Amino acid sequence: MATLIKGRRIVPPSAPSPDEGEVLRLEPTDDPASVAGRLGDVARVDVNFPKFGDGRGYSIARLLRERYGYKGELRAVGEVVRDHLFYMESCGFDAFLLRDGEDAEEALGGFKDFSESYSASVARPAPLFRRRGA
């Protein structure tokens, strides 16, 4: 059974109520611009990672957060594994539905694999050299 991590904690999966809005699911081939006008009305956006090595969802997440200003829940679904969590969070994901068979407790350690990130990201907008100089 897949496990949901949200806020760096294991939580029970739950469906949004109809009052919260719909769940929008984006595939790697979808263009976020095509749904930009609907983002204010959705409860969350699920971005699918159909294969372990398919990184297009990272770009979709950054576009949703930075270009289209999406502030709601952004959930990574599909082939979501421990080794990707740190990078997914850096791109703007705040919820992660682990693939079946992943050890959720072990996966939480993925957020602490690196103490710093050199490059700018959604989670850390300034690159390391700017953060150290501040």
Tens of pLDDT, residue by residue, the chain (134 residues): 689 999 999 998 777 767 778 899 999 999 999 999 999 999 999 999 999 889 999 999 999 999 999 999 999 999 999 999 999 999 999 999 999 999 999 999 998 888 777 777 787 777 777 777 65
pTM of the complete model beyond 0.85: yes
| CA neighbor of 97 nearest in space, from 81, 109, 115 | 81
The DSSP bridge partners found for residue 44 are 23, 73
Q: What angle do CA 24, 48, 11 make, to 5 degrees?
A: 80
